[in-house]
Amino acid sequence: GLHYFKAMFRKNPILSAVKAGDVAKMEKLASKSSFPKDCAKEFDKEGYSPLTQAAKLGTAKILEVMLEHEADPNLQDKNERTALFIAAMEDNARIAKVLCKCKSIDVDVPCANGKTATDAARTAESTDVLKCIGDAVGAKLVEAGKTGNLDQARTLVKRPMINLEASDTTGWTALHFAMKQNFEEMVEVLAAAGADGNYKNMAGESPIEIALKEGNRAILKLYEETKQGVGRLALQEREREKEPEKRVGVLKEEGTADAEFTHKKFTQDELMLKLKLASMEEEKGKDEEPKEEHHMLSPRKLTAKFKSGHKDKEKITSPKKKH
C-alpha cells in the first residue's frame, strides 16, 4: 500500500497532495514556477484534475493554495467539468465561494453536455451556490461600473442571479462608482435593474450621498426618475413599444403595390410584422360573420412574392372597416 502511494505521488504529486489533504506539501509544490502548467497536466484514473478533485473532496484550504498560485479555475478535467461545476453538483457553497472569489473565474464555461455551473446548481437546487455565482457576476458589474463599460453592464444586469450590491474590498458597488464619476447612462442602467442607492460602503456612504458630496445633483434626479419609471430609459422603452404600431400604419396604407415594398427595401422584420398582421386579421375573420370579402394576400402567398421579388401591380389592401 505504501509503495503504491509513493509511486502515485511520484507520477501525480499535486493530485496526491490533494487526496491526502496535505496543505504543507501543496504549498511546497505550488511554489514552483511550473505549478499552473503542472496542474493542467495531472489527471487521476477517474479523469479528475487537482482542482476538480479538491472540489469533490471539499478541501477548501488546498483549493485556496492552488488558486493563490495561479492554477486556472476554469480548467476542465477529462470529464469536461470545472471545479465550480463540481461544487454546484455537490451543493458545496464553501468551495463555490472560494472559486467565485477568484478574479479570473468564468461562471459560464460550458461543461459536460453544454451545461454550466449555474445549470448544475439549479439541478441540485443549491440556492447557496447560485448566490455565490451571483456574487461572482456582481463583481464583474462592479468593474463595469468603475470603468464605465456600458455594454458589459447592460449584459450583466440581465443575469437572473446577479448581486447588484456586490462590492469591492472597500464596499463600493457599481452604483457608487457610477454616481461618483457622473456616468449618466450607467446610473440609468443600474437604477432600472434595481440597484440600491442607499447601500452603504465600508465608510458608511451610500451612492446617493456620494453624488451629493460630488455635487452631481443632475444625476440624482436621473436616478430617481429611472427608479420611478419616468426617466429616459422608460420613455425610450415606451417608444419602442409604439414602434410596431407605427410600422403597421405604414404597412397598411391602402394602394401600396407589392412591388413598392421591395423598392422601399422593407426589412425582414417589417415583412414578418405584416405577415403577423395578416394572420391576426384572418383569425379575427374566422370568429366573425363575414360581411365583406377581405382582399388581403395570405401569409404564404405574401412570403412567396417577397422572396421572388414579384413586381406586378396587384394591390395589397387592408380589410375594409365594418360600418
Where residue 282 falls among pLDDT bands split at 50, 70, 90? low
Q: Higher pLDDT residue, 168 or 315?
A: 168
Is the CATH number 3.40.50.300 carried by domain 10-125? no
pLDDT, position 267: 56
Q: What is the DSSP letter of 114?
A: G
Distances (CA, A) of 23 to 4, 28, 40, 59, 298: 21, 9, 19, 9, 73
Residue 265, pLDDT > 90, answer no
Residue 275, pLDDT > 80, answer no
pLDDT, position 26: 96
CA 305 to chain centre: 39
Residue 5, pLDDT > 50, answer no
Q: What is the DSSP letter of 32?
A: S
CA 16 to CA 32: how far, in whole Å?
16
pLDDT, position 318: 46
User: Fold match between 10-125 and 140-241?
Assistant: yes
CA 10 to CA 193: how far, in whole Å?
53
- In this prediction, residues 267-286 reach a mean pLDDT of 62
pLDDT, position 159: 86
pLDDT digits (tens, 9 = 90+) for 123-172: 999 999 999 999 999 999 999 999 999 999 999 999 878 999 999 999 99
pLDDT, position 247: 58
- In this prediction, residues 25-52 reach a mean pLDDT of 93
Is residue 32 within 8 A of residue 39, CB to CB? The reply is no
Residue 46, pLDDT > 80, answer yes
Counting residues of the chain whose pLDDT is more than 90, the rounded percentage is: 61
Q: Higher pLDDT residue, 18 or 247?
A: 18
Q: Shortest CA distance to 261 belongs to which of 201, 315, 206?
A: 315
Q: What is the CATH number of domain 140-241?
A: 1.25.40.20
Amino acid, single-letter form, for residue 53: Q
pTM of the model: 0.64
CA 242 to CA 204: how far, in whole Å?
43
- In this prediction, residues 191-196 reach a mean pLDDT of 94
pLDDT digits (tens, 9 = 90+) for 225-262: 998 876 566 556 655 655 655 555 555 555 555 545 44
Residue 264, pLDDT > 90, answer no
Where residue 312 falls among pLDDT bands split at 50, 70, 90? very low
Where residue 285 falls among pLDDT bands split at 50, 70, 90? low
Residue 8, pLDDT > 80, answer no
Residue 203 burial by Cβ neighbours in a 10 Å radius (0-12, 13-18, 19+)? exposed
Is residue 175 within 8 A of residue 148, CB to CB? The reply is no
- In this prediction, residues 311-315 reach a mean pLDDT of 45
- In this prediction, residues 273-292 reach a mean pLDDT of 60
pLDDT, position 262: 47
CA 165 to CA 197: how far, in whole Å?
10
pLDDT, position 229: 77
Cell numbers 477568484 label which residue? 102
pLDDT, position 105: 94
pLDDT, position 161: 82
Average of per-residue pLDDT values in the chain:
81
CB atoms within 10 A of CB 277: 18
> b/e map of 135-153 (b: 16 or more CB within 10 Å)?
bbbbbbbbbbbbeebbeeb
Three-class SS state of 29:
helix
* Domain locations along the chain: 10-125, 140-241
Amino acid, single-letter form, for residue 260: E
Counting residues of the chain whose pLDDT is more than 70, the rounded percentage is: 68
